[in-house]
Amino acid sequence: MTSPLLVANWKMNLPPEGIAEFVAALTRLPEGIEVAVAPPFPFLGTFAEEIEGRGARIERAAQNCSDRESGAFTGEVSAAMLRQAGVSHVILGHSERRALFGEDNRLVGRKLRQAIGEGLIPIFCIGEDEETREAGRTAALLERQIVEAAEEMENLPDVLIIAYEPVWAIGTGKNASPEMAAETHAGIRRIVGGISHETELVILYGGSVTPDNAASLAAQEEINGFLVGGASLSSEKFGAIARAMRQMEENQPAEG
Ligand code: PGA
């Protein structure tokens, strides 16, 4: 069984307190929870030095990777390069990449395939916008995001990490209610179950997770962890979210 997972997405930011101070404050994270941090590419090395130097139990994640293996693709970073640099996880299909950089479901699927092929653990982000939620079309949209991406992948991995991030909740201070998130996660489980019965599914919730709402979200059995943006830039807030997740150890992710 996979442990509950907490992922920090720093986006194009650094913690105001500094990377060294951030890591120093998080050397004693609760047991039984896996923690990964995704700094911007140029800071993956500095981050690695800090966690090694301080013996912090934090994995390194990237925020993106290319769908290509290597070659003349200026500005791209391959999954193999991330692997060589000691990165374990990669966030793919984040709604900002979809909305601002034109990534569609099939491109996200090809990136997932590259990442899995190189032994990285992808964090596959999906989620609906406000209009879709209000029109009652959330399930259909999530299904398309999953199915079209899966069509570009050879096989689903043994363990698939999906981050459900409603676009209207990202960076807005408006989180999905624990019940709404749990219900949507159950729907995602049904969709993935329709594609593969062998895949163990870990579903993170993302979108305005804070120390104030983390415990009530974590109490939902369907929620197996969090992907955190804004609140992950403060070691104090991020550490508080990690502590709020302790109860999740009992919430074992079910088979997909
Ligand atoms: P947020 O961002 O926590 O600031 O809402 C989440 C994300 O974009 O992954």
Rounded Cα distance between 229 and 7, Å, is 9
Confidence bin at 253 (pLDDT 50/70/90): low
Residues 141-149, mean pLDDT to the nearest whole number: 98
**212 C-alpha vs ligand 1 centroid, how far in Å?**
15
DSSP letters, 90-117, are EEES-HHHHHHS---HHHHHHHHHHHHH
Q: Which of 181, 191, 202 is nearest to 141 (CA)?
A: 191
Confidence bin at 1 (pLDDT 50/70/90): low
pLDDT of residue 98 exceeding 50, the answer is yes
Exposure b/e, 165-178, CB count within 10 A at least 16 = b: bbbbbbeeeebbeb
User: Annotated catalytic sites, by residue?
Assistant: 94, 165
CB atoms within 10 A of CB 233: 19
Check residue 256 and give its pLDDT.
43
pLDDT of residue 255 exceeding 70, the answer is no
- Residues in the ligand 1 pocket, defined by CB under 6 Å: 9, 165, 170-171, 206-209, 227-231
Output the residue whose Cα is nearest ligand 1's atom 2.
229
Counts for the chain of helices (H) and strands (E), in that order = 10, 8
Q: Which residues pair with 20 in a beta bridge?
A: none
Structure confidence by residue, pLDDT tens digits, 32-91: 999 999 999 999 999 999 999 999 999 999 999 999 999 999 999 999 999 999 999 999
Output the residue whose Cα is nearest ligand 1's atom 7.
229
Q: What is the mean pLDDT of the chain?
A: 95
pLDDT of residue 195 exceeding 60, the answer is yes
CB 205 within 8 A of CB 223: yes
Check residue 158 and give its pLDDT.
92
pLDDT of residue 181 exceeding 70, the answer is yes
Confidence bin at 2 (pLDDT 50/70/90): confident
Confidence bin at 155 (pLDDT 50/70/90): confident
DSSP letters, 164-199, are E--GGGTTTS-PPPHHHHHHHHHHHHHHHHHH-SS-
Rounded Cα distance between 131 and 145, Å, is 16
Residues 204-232, mean pLDDT to the nearest whole number: 98
Confidence bin at 154 (pLDDT 50/70/90): confident
**48 C-alpha vs ligand 1 centroid, how far in Å?**
23
Give me the phi and psi of 56, to 5 degrees please: -80, 145
CB atoms within 10 A of CB 199: 18
Check residue 205 and give its pLDDT.
98
